[in-house]
Amino acid sequence: MNRKLGWFLAGGLLVALLLAGVVSNFASSSPDGLDATAREGCTFNAEGEITGGHCIAQQESAHQLGGSPLADYGGDGFLSKFVAGTTGVLITFGLGAGLFWVTRRRTRTDA
């Protein structure tokens, strides 16, 4: 890998980590499109709990890993969102780099 490409990839990874780890903390806490659609047709109390009506959200249940640090971005603190965002970026970057490495090696050995 040449030097310019390495600097480009490192810069891109740094920007992605900053966006996922820091800027994601300023994202809206309102339900996204899927959550909003699942909640259509229900009535709610002041705490946002379902009190009646008919909607898909009434079927939801707690996830087994709901208390883990990587469960959703719904954590109360900055650290929970930071860890979830940066871990997601690093895993995605690692999988992509691994895929490119395997593809590149196979192409070179076949040629």
Closest CA to 55 of 71, 46, 43: 43
Angstrom distance (rounded) from CA 95 to CA 89: 10
**Is there a single domain that holds both residue 63 and residue 83?**
no
Percent over 70 (pLDDT), the chain: 86
Q: For residue 49, what pLDDT is reported?
A: 85
Say what the pLDDT of residue 110 is: 54
Query: Average pLDDT, stretch 75-104?
Result: 86
Residues 90 and 107 in one domain: yes
User: What is the reported pLDDT for 5?
Assistant: 87
Give the chain's mean pLDDT: 82
Q: Does 58 share its domain with 78?
A: no
Confidence (pTM): 0.61
Number of domains comprising the chain: 2
For the residues 55-79, what does the mean pLDDT come to? 73
The Cα–Cα gap between 62 and 70 comes to 15
**Are 37 and 54 found together in one domain?**
yes
Domain of 87?
1-27+73-111
Asked if residue 61 and residue 45 are part of one domain, the reply reads yes
Q: What was the pLDDT predicted at 15?
A: 95
